[in-house]
Amino acid sequence: MKRGNNGKGKSNEGIVEIEETDEKQNGYPDSQRNCRIKSDKSSGLFMYTTSEVEYLYGEEGEYEGEPIEYWVKQWSVGMEGDSYSGYLLMELSDGRYWKINYSC
């Protein structure tokens, strides 16, 4: 996973607040939970996702196979269509979210 910027030298990452919305977007299932970033109405919709941590090691311990919840907004890039870029919103202990830019 690669962190990046918007091509203008300005980071797309940071701490944000979100609000859930009933809005839907093409390709998102009707039953899917969606949110927006409060301070950036043009950010588009993020989709609620659950998964499992494969393996994570940090100062506070090791985690493997533990459930994780996050919001994602992604799109395919490249000629083959099997590469993705987007953003993850990971919840912090104070209820705000860490916005992370990625590509893979």
CA-based angle 6:9:10, to the nearest 5? 65
Average pLDDT over residues 15-28: 83
Averaged confidence pLDDT in the chain: 80
Find tokens 């994780």 and name the residue: 68
First to last CA, the chain: 5
89, 16 in Cβ contact below 8 A? yes
Task: Band the pLDDT of 77: cuts 50, 70, 90.
Answer: confident
Which pLDDT score is estimated for 2? 42
Distance CA 48, CA 74 (A): 12
Q: How many CB atoms lie within 10 A of CB 101?
A: 18
